[in-house]
Structure 1
Amino acid sequence: MILTTVLALALSYLLGSVPAAAWVARARGVDIRQVGSGNSGATNVLRALGPGPALLVALFDILKGALAVWLGSALGLGPFPATLCGVAAVLGHNFSPFLGWRGGKGVATSFGVITAAAPVAGLGVFVIGVAAILLTRFVSAGSILGAVAAVLLTLVTAQPVWLILIVTALTALLVWQHRENIRRLQAGNERRLGEPK
């Protein structure tokens, strides 16, 4: 079982490291790391290439997180190690060997993990995150609020302690990945969704 767990974690990391944003952008003749924020994620693809490619990237990144959890379960792992496979996918997304150990900020992939592990909490995260983005037009703020809401929702829905701790760790990583966005929000110069550069 230890060997199976290690194999599942490694496969999940590799799955997460597939840089959908970079590859979709490259197919359009764009190096996503050289435009906009330089981030390999759906928001930067939206600003660089439009809603169609961004939606494709977002769905793929969500699926990476969910598939990693399901992979762990399919290999006979329990809920805890299967969810750790989801964490491995997030780490692969954020620190991809295909992008020189860079990547995205893990928002969509973390959402996929949370939804696969705790569907009710995932639904709540989606509603709160999207509502915050629509109200403020700050993708970063919506992402952070959604992540914080994930911790609260796992508490409110009485999820296992180990899952609450995993979601808390994913939230902390997501907030850290958004540290530059937080500085810009505090300074009042963060770009709103749809706002020209």
Structure 2
Amino acid sequence: QKIEQYHAENARIPQVTDLILILAVAFGVTGLSHLLADLIVPWIEREAPHLEMYSLTSSFFWIVVIATTVGLLLSGTKVRKLEAVGASKLGTVFLYVLVATIGMHMDVTAILDYPEMFLVGIVWMACHAGLMLFVARLIRAPLFYMAVGSQANVGGAASAPVVAAAFHPSLAPVGVLLAVLGYGLGTYGAYICGLILQQVAP
């Protein structure tokens, strides 16, 4: 009820100014990320080329890390009030564009060359499901938290609110919050996971 009340009190119809401000923040942070990445990567390549094995000479890596970090920092400022006019919904649209752009560079036929990757995916999801069930039982968490937390981890902001709303419409914002938290932690966690996999790779 508190979540529903908060959403009802703060949500409002976005004006043109609101949309322009959202886009300004989004493109501003993206531009800043590109600028800093273009400065950091050449410096690392010149001063510490051995860090290439950790992907620290990748511009894309720094763009994602910087954008995520700045986004988390902005969430503690007045910029977070843009959520009241649908900032996360507009962000989800851009997320779909990003995923589609990445997908356009993907070679689907390469899956046939590495069928063992399917096994890795199965093991990965099995570990995820097992860990979720174990922790939920350990802390005696309600089914709602386990279901939404799992979906936020796997499906992100696109599907977590749907699962949350299935329990109660007012809980949809909780799904969004968990998904956004997953995006933030996932950026750093995925990098660490990549380093671990790099060490065990043949």
Q: Answer yes or no: same fold by TM over 0.5.
A: no
When the two structures are superposed, what TM-score results if normalisation uses the length of structure 1? 0.35
When the two structures are superposed, what TM-score results if normalisation uses the length of structure 2? 0.34
Bigger radius of gyration? 2
**Structure with higher helix content:** 2
